[in-house]
Amino acid sequence: NAGVMQNPRHLVRRRGQEARLRCSPMKGHSHVYWYRQLPEEGLKFMVYLQKENIIDESGMPKERFSAEFPKEGPSILRIQQVVRGDSAAYFCASSPGTGATFNYGYTFGSGTRLTVV
Amino acid sequence: AQKVTQAQTEISVVEKEDVTLDCVYETRDTTYYLFWYKQPPSGELVFLIRRNSFDEQNEISGRYSWNFQKSTSSFNFTITASQVVDSAVYFCALSASGGYQKVTFGTGTKLQVIP
C-alpha cells in the first residue's frame, strides 16, 4: 500500500511563473491536508480538502494560492506568479476520515521543495 | 487557539549520551492528540508517536521514550544512548481529537549527535 505520494520532489521556478504541486493520497483516503514549511521553521497548516470540496483554507494566503482535490486524480496546490518568499517545502498528508476513523499516525508525503529564483 | 513551544532550538550531544527534547503545549480542547515527528537531513517527515490526551501512560519504544504530564502541559521526548542516526530536527505537534486533524506544530529542535 503506497504512502502519500508527492511530486515533483524539487521544483524550481522563476519569479512570476506558476507552480503546481501534486499530492496523491494513500489508497482509500478521501481527505487531504497541505502544510508549508518555511526555511528553519515548523510546518504551518494551509488547507484541508475532501474530494471536490475545500473544507478549511484558513491557512492559505488570500492571493495567488489555490488548491483543489478533484473527484479523480491527485490534489493540486497551485501558486500563481511565484515570489521568492514562496520558496519553502510543501507537505501533503492524507487520512481516511475524521474523528474516530483516524486511528493511526498522520502520514505525510516526502514533500515538494519549491525554489523561486 | 493551540500553541506548541519547543524552547530548545538546537542541542548537541556526544554519541551514547541521553537527551531529552522538551515540548510544552497550550490548548482549550478537553481532548486532543500530541505527536512527535522526526525530520532527518533528507527532509521527509517521519511519524514517531501519537498520544491521546486521556492516556497519560508513558511510552517506551526501544531507545525512545515519551513523558506526558497533563498537569504541566508537557510531552517530552527522551532518546537513550543517542546515535549519529538520531541527528535530525524533531517536531512536537498538537491537534484536536474531534473533527478533522488540523495539526499545530512547534518550531522544532535540531539535534546533533556527535560521534
In angstroms, the CA A24 to CA B7 distance is 34
Residue B30, Cβ density class (10 Å: 0-12 exposed, 13-18 middle, ≥19 buried):
exposed
Q: What is the pLDDT of residues A58-115, one digit of tens each?
A: 999 999 999 999 999 999 999 999 999 999 999 999 887 655 444 455 678 999 999 9
Nearest to B109 by CA among B4, B2, B7, B3: B7
Report CB contact under 8 Å: A99, B97: yes
Q: CA B32 → CA A24, A31, B24, B55, B58, distances in Å?
A: 27, 19, 14, 10, 16
Output the nine-digit C-alpha cell for A40.
Answer: 528553519
Q: Taking CB atoms and an 8 Å cutoff, what residues of chain B touch A104?
A: 50
Q: What is the DSSP string of A27-59?
A: TT--EEEEEEE-TTS-EEEEEEEETTEEEE-TT
Give pLDDT, residue A101. Answer: 43
With CA atoms as reference, the chain A residue closest to B107 would be: A42
Question: B101 and A89 in contact by Cβ < 8 A?
Answer: no
Nearest CA of chain A to the CA of B40: how many Å?
Answer: 11
B91 CB neighbours in chain A (<8 A) are 42-43
Which residues does chain B have within 8 Å of residue A108's beta carbon, measured at their own beta carbons?
37, 44-45, 47
- Model confidence at B101, pLDDT cuts 50, 70, 90, reads low
Between B100, B103, B106, which is nearest A55 by CB? B100
Q: List pLDDT tens digits, range A24-35.
A: 998 888 889 999
Are the beta carbons of A111 and B43 separated by less than 8 Å? yes
Among A37-46, A97-106, B25-34, B106-115, the range scoring the smallest mean pLDDT is A97-106
